[in-house]
A and B are shown apart, each in its own frame.
Chain A
Amino acid sequence: MLTFIYIVNADLFVVMVIRTSSLARRFGNFVAVDDITISVGKGEVFGFLGPNGAGKTTTVRMLACLIRPTSGSATVCGLDIGDRESASLIRKKVGILTESPGFYDNLTATKNLRFFTDLYHINRETAEEAIRRYLRMFNLYDRKDHPVGGFSRGMRQKLALIRCLLHEPEVLFMDEPTSGLDPGSARVVREAILDLKKNGRTIFLCTHNLDEAERLSDKVAIINHHLLYSGTPAALKDTIYGQELVVRLEKLNPEIYNAVSSMSVVQAVERSGDRMILRIHNPELHSPDVIDAIVRAGGRIRSVGELGHSMEDVYLKLTGDD
């Protein structure tokens, strides 16, 4: 029996296109994915991060109905992935960009793409138009009649992206979409991802490129077999490091240090030369009090700023590679 469950986030009224609940997959005794609960809203770019072998591909395969979960549940485009009859419908609504862009090398770019439009039962006229449009968009139109065997890695990656877009999927699962691409091609792919997002497509982005994840993603999840974090990149940094204030002084003496560290709103003080790195409870509210205390203790402030942490710092700390 088909089940249609479009889940709406009550707070934000965002349609949840992907929603998992305690999703798990075992291979014998090996737990590849355990207790993954995430939700991805319509039109969001969702960065899915984790070390090699963390279970990212297994999760994508479960969500695309290529393999079945051992336990837990998930819906994609409102369809239950555990329902056998939904599997084919889900595969119609999603596109997968696999990490290695495999093609039938003896066939031309157009023939490769036409094979897939045929499998999605797209009528010939619409398919030809879509093939031409996407080949032009990704600067491959001139190579349309060339065998794919002669294509560079970047060209293959762009062609793979076209392949997974031709049936206009609602959800795109992308595994390392810019890996192995030159900076120019990587930019074309990133811009394409943002264009797709603008057009309301939901993108599930598996990547090791943390800068890319931060720039493109509305939300990220970090997994290492189980879920380590799920939320916005900014909230992730706050969760891990809190908001930290860097105060540079003309001279940092013990009186100033003691005045600051004795304040109940200051959670931690780190001293580095004439700099203090302060972690403050509710910094929006209490930063002025802290600055005032420094000045009253005789401190002359050169600069005050927020300490920035890169996504890489956060990722390494969470995955334990720090």
Chain B
Amino acid sequence: MINVGLDILIITRKELDELLRNRYIITTMASFPLIFSIAIPLVFLLTIPMNLTKGDVSMLFSHVPGFDTMTPHQIVIYFLVQSNMPFYLLMPGLMPTMISSYSMVGEKKNGTLEPLLATPVSSLDILFGKTLAAVIPSVLITWTSFFIYTILVDVMTIATFGYPVIPSAIWLVSVFITAPLLAIMSVYATVLVSSRMTDVRASQQVSAVIVVPIMVLFVLQLFGMITLDTFSILLVSAGLLVIDVILVKSGTRLFRREEILTRWG
């Protein structure tokens, strides 16, 4: 049992070691906090006009709880701060796909999979090791980005509100529950796709399936067509949990020595 855990850690450590040497992935991953946690909030926080009237922001009333106690400037800030939440779901949806595509298809392409499968390590441990190596950095970057975003937004708006506007319950649920579930979904969707792919970029296309619904969520919220609340995010998380269970089962079935060596393209 101790060895089982050890094998997973050995695989994860090697994967992370390789990941740190992949300039393309590192650059892309480093750009997420820079764009979503610094650049975008700075742009909107510095460009909101001060001379807004209630009439200018009336269409946002239904999306901002407690709007009647806020100034128009506060209402716009609050709305835009909340609107950025889908970006923090986008990160754990995108990053694991990038990492695990390299990990799965790259290994297949480089001919390292068979020597790895020839070791006494169980295929399940290999899969779990690779999963952790994709999920941990993605989730950590999402959390770090959220931390930076929270600090930046609160520092820049504390004078306006008199209290920190984030984190709120919906943010905490999204970042700490929904994001890891999305990361797991992303990894196992990549495993399923990678079994049929021989090109890393092609296997990364699976991210589109995950990104599109999140972007739809973002656009719908930005245009005021939906309002995400804690309950709806919890519902989304429950749905993701079900999908994760199904994907993990299918991925585990697919990631067996026999399957990999005889059926993977």
Query: Which residues of A pack against B, CB within 8 Å?
Result: 27, 61, 64-68, 88-89, 91-92, 94-96, 98, 100-107, 111, 115-116, 118-121, 160, 163-164
Query: Which residues of B pack against A, CB within 8 Å?
Result: 3, 6-7, 10, 14, 17-18, 21-22, 110-122, 257-258, 261-262
Contact assessment for B18 and A106 in the assembled complex, using a CB-CB cutoff below 8 Å? yes
Contact assessment for A104 and B119 in the assembled complex, using a CB-CB cutoff below 8 Å? no
> How distant is the Cα of A96 from the Cα of B118 in the complex, in angstroms?
7
Residues of B within 8 A of A88 (CB): 120, 122
Contact assessment for A98 and B14 in the assembled complex, using a CB-CB cutoff below 8 Å? no
Q: Which of B3, B22, B117, B121 contacts A66 (CB 8 A)?
A: B117
Q: Which of A68, A104, A160 contacts B110 (CB 8 A)?
A: A104
- Interface of B, secondary structure class, is helix
Q: Which of B17, B117, B118 contacts A111 (CB 8 A)?
A: B17
Q: Which of B14, B17, B18, B258 contacts A67 (CB 8 A)?
A: B258
Q: Which of A91, A107, A115 contacts B21 (CB 8 A)?
A: A107
Contact assessment for B22 and A106 in the assembled complex, using a CB-CB cutoff below 8 Å? yes
Q: A67-B262, A92-B120 given as contacts; is B14 within 8 A of A115 (CB)? A: yes
Contact assessment for A106 and B119 in the assembled complex, using a CB-CB cutoff below 8 Å? no
Q: A88-B122, A115-B14, A121-B3 given as contacts; is B258 within 8 A of A68 (CB)? A: yes
> How distant is the Cα of A228 from the Cα of B177 in the complex, in angstroms?
61
Tally of contacts, chain A with chain B, CB under 8 A: 73
Chain A, Cβ-Cβ closest to B23: A106
> How distant is the Cα of A163 from the Cα of B122 in the complex, in angstroms?
19
> How distant is the Cα of A91 from the Cα of B121 in the complex, in angstroms?
9
Contact assessment for A98 and B115 in the assembled complex, using a CB-CB cutoff below 8 Å? yes
Contact assessment for B110 and A27 in the assembled complex, using a CB-CB cutoff below 8 Å? no
Contact assessment for B261 and A66 in the assembled complex, using a CB-CB cutoff below 8 Å? yes
Q: A104-B18, A107-B18, A118-B10 given as contacts; is B110 within 8 A of A67 (CB)? A: no
Most-contacted residue by chain B among A68, A95, A102 (CB, 10 A): A102
Residues of A within 8 A of B14 (CB): 104, 107, 115
Residues of B within 8 A of A67 (CB): 257-258, 261-262
Q: Which of B17, B111, B121, B122 contacts A98 (CB 8 A)?
A: B111
> How distant is the Cα of A94 from the Cα of B118 in the complex, in angstroms?
9
> How distant is the Cα of A102 from the Cα of B257 in the complex, in angstroms?
17
Q: Which of B3, B10, B17, B111 contacts A102 (CB 8 A)?
A: B111
Q: A106-B21, A107-B17, A107-B21 given as contacts; is B115 within 8 A of A64 (CB)? A: no
What are 6 residue pairs bridging A and B, where the CB atoms are less than 8 Å apart in the complex?
A66-B114, A66-B258, A92-B120, A101-B111, A115-B14, A121-B3
Chain A, Cβ-Cβ closest to B116: A119
Residues of B within 8 A of A115 (CB): 10, 14
Contact assessment for B262 and A102 in the assembled complex, using a CB-CB cutoff below 8 Å? no
Contact assessment for B112 and A119 in the assembled complex, using a CB-CB cutoff below 8 Å? no
Chain B nearest CB, measured from A94 CB (Å):
8
Residues of A within 8 A of B115 (CB): 96, 98, 102, 116, 160, 163-164
> How distant is the Cα of A102 from the Cα of B118 in the complex, in angstroms?
13
> How distant is the Cα of A96 from the Cα of B120 in the complex, in angstroms?
12
Contact assessment for A91 and B120 in the assembled complex, using a CB-CB cutoff below 8 Å? yes
Chain B nearest CB, measured from A214 CB (Å):
28
Contact assessment for A27 and B121 in the assembled complex, using a CB-CB cutoff below 8 Å? no
Contact assessment for A103 and B112 in the assembled complex, using a CB-CB cutoff below 8 Å? yes
Chain A, Cβ-Cβ closest to B111: A102
Residues of B within 8 A of A164 (CB): 115, 118
Residues of A within 8 A of B17 (CB): 107, 111
Contact assessment for B21 and A119 in the assembled complex, using a CB-CB cutoff below 8 Å? no
Contact assessment for A91 and B119 in the assembled complex, using a CB-CB cutoff below 8 Å? yes
Give the 6 A-B residue pairs with the shortest CB-CB distance, closest first.
Answer: A102-B111, A106-B21, A102-B112, A100-B111, A96-B118, A119-B119
Chain A nearest CB, measured from B7 CB (Å):
7
Chain A nearest CB, measured from B48 CB (Å):
45
> How distant is the Cα of A101 from the Cα of B118 in the complex, in angstroms?
13
Chain B nearest CB, measured from A103 CB (Å):
6
Residues of B within 8 A of A98 (CB): 111, 114-115, 118
> How distant is the Cα of A103 from the Cα of B109 in the complex, in angstroms?
10
Contact assessment for A119 and B114 in the assembled complex, using a CB-CB cutoff below 8 Å? no
Chain A, Cβ-Cβ closest to B258: A67
Most-contacted residue by chain B among A65, A102, A118, A119 (CB, 10 A): A119
Q: Which of B21, B120, B261 contacts A120 (CB 8 A)?
A: B120
Chain B nearest CB, measured from A97 CB (Å):
9
Residues of B within 8 A of A91 (CB): 118-120
Residues of B within 8 A of A163 (CB): 115
> How distant is the Cα of A160 from the Cα of B120 in the complex, in angstroms?
17
Chain B, Cβ-Cβ closest to A115: B14
Residues of B within 8 A of A118 (CB): 10
Residues of A within 8 A of B116 (CB): 119
> How distant is the Cα of A164 from the Cα of B115 in the complex, in angstroms?
8
Chain A nearest CB, measured from B107 CB (Å):
8
> How distant is the Cα of A42 from the Cα of B122 in the complex, in angstroms?
28
Residues of A within 8 A of B18 (CB): 104, 106-107
Chain B, Cβ-Cβ closest to A116: B119
Chain A nearest CB, measured from B35 CB (Å):
26
> How distant is the Cα of A68 from the Cα of B258 in the complex, in angstroms?
7
Residues of A within 8 A of B22 (CB): 106
Residues of A within 8 A of B7 (CB): 119
